[in-house]
Amino acid sequence: MCQDHKPVGNPSHFEGTEQEKSTAHAVDGTFAQYTQGMKFFDPHVHMTSRTTDDYQALADAGVVALIEPAFWLGQPRTGLASFKDYFASLVGWERFRSSQFGIKHYCTIGLNSREANHEALAEQVMEILPLFLQKEGVVGVGEIGFDDQTAAEEKYYRAQLELAKEMNLPVQVHTPHRDKKKGTERSMAIALEHGIAPNMVIIDHNNEETVKSVLDQGFYAAFTIYPFTKMGNERMVEIVKHYGPERIMVNSAADLGISDPLAIPKTAALMKIKEVPDEHIRLVTYQNALDAFAQSGQIQEADFIHGLEIDQTQKFNGNTILRGGQAPRIDKDSLIIR
């Protein structure tokens, strides 16, 4: 998540101007007519900060699986217990909540760059990471990397790269908004220095300035589509047309700030309108993310490709998503393949 020090402005991963005139709005509401039958995998979305309406909209739009990276929550945590509870919710309640809308939920676990600067607490968080990284459905170490590019950020980025290497997990790297080019190059150089294969590293929040070097060095290049920012989906279409689909993936990074959880289906619709081949759309909105994070050994496509069976009468630790008197949705007829 964005760790923007300026007192104004909210976009979490990018600082953007509002000048971008985007056909995203034109596609809004009509995008579904272009994406019939398509399935999507969002490899970066902070569902903890979203509503059940968002889950329903994602399911309706064809998002069958997603990855929720551990991140900063908008204000600094003051103790280890809040990290612990947050990580536990990513593999517990949030995963349950997602399942109630038929969406397979995975997560990455890590110490984010902003909170790496609180060294006393960071040390304690490092100690509990291995425990959570071993849990089922944890598909990588993330999102980690640089924010202000401080010495403490580098120290904990390196320590977590070592952890990823030991546990043979992919790494999801958040790149900084300020000095992005430099921060991105530095993130990649350090990963290589630690002997991590570039295909195990997903460099996130790319733009036109960073993409070529990321792809040339063999890393995965993820792009966050945010409304009113520099990387609107029209520019995303141009990038896919220019570079092709290999190792590129699109995400929404929807979070507590102004963002759009439907960024992937909307971008797919725009690609379709702009005549990007269907197979290229499938690769950048589904398959490449799946391939990258399946290297964790924690993703079985068969678990979600035909949809999850939804039974909203289910409970998690005695809790349900239903509120007094609501009728549960139960799909007893859904087609499950094991």
The site for Zn ion (CB under 5 A) is made up of 1, 71, 253
Residue 246 phi, psi dihedral angles, 5° rounding: -65, 125
As measured in angstroms, the least distance from the Cβ of 318 to Zn ion is 30
Helix (H) or strand (E) holding 35: none
Burial class of residue 294 (count of CB atoms within 10 Å of its CB; 0-12, 13-18, 19+): middle
Do 149 and 168 touch, CB atoms closer than 8 A?
no
As measured in angstroms, the least distance from the Cβ of 255 to Zn ion is 6
Which is nearer to Zn ion, 35 or 108 (by Cβ)?
108
Which is nearer to Zn ion, 45 or 269 (by Cβ)?
45
CA distance 306 to 197: 32
CA distance 175 to 146: 6
Burial class of residue 259 (count of CB atoms within 10 Å of its CB; 0-12, 13-18, 19+): buried
Which is nearer to Zn ion, 71 or 132 (by Cβ)?
71
**Cβ density class 65-82: b for 16+ within 10 Å, e for less:** bbbbbbbbbeeebeeeee
* Residue with the shortest CB distance to Zn ion: 1
As measured in angstroms, the least distance from the Cβ of 39 to Zn ion is 22
Do 77 and 84 touch, CB atoms closer than 8 A?
no
Query: Which of 205, 281, 166, 180 lies closest to 13 in space, CA to CA?
Result: 205
As measured in angstroms, the least distance from the Cβ of 202 to Zn ion is 12
Do 122 and 83 touch, CB atoms closer than 8 A?
no
Which is nearer to Zn ion, 102 or 145 (by Cβ)?
145
As measured in angstroms, the least distance from the Cβ of 209 to Zn ion is 20
As measured in angstroms, the least distance from the Cβ of 285 to Zn ion is 18
Burial class of residue 303 (count of CB atoms within 10 Å of its CB; 0-12, 13-18, 19+): middle
As measured in angstroms, the least distance from the Cβ of 177 to Zn ion is 12
Do 110 and 155 touch, CB atoms closer than 8 A?
no
As measured in angstroms, the least distance from the Cβ of 96 to Zn ion is 21
Phi-psi region at 63: left, alpha or beta (left = phi > 0; alpha = psi -120 to 50): beta
Which is nearer to Zn ion, 38 or 91 (by Cβ)?
91
Which is nearer to Zn ion, 71 or 219 (by Cβ)?
71
Q: Could you tell me how far CA 166 lies from the centroid of its own chain? A: 23
How many angstroms separate the most distant Cα atoms in the chain?
57
As measured in angstroms, the least distance from the Cβ of 90 to Zn ion is 13
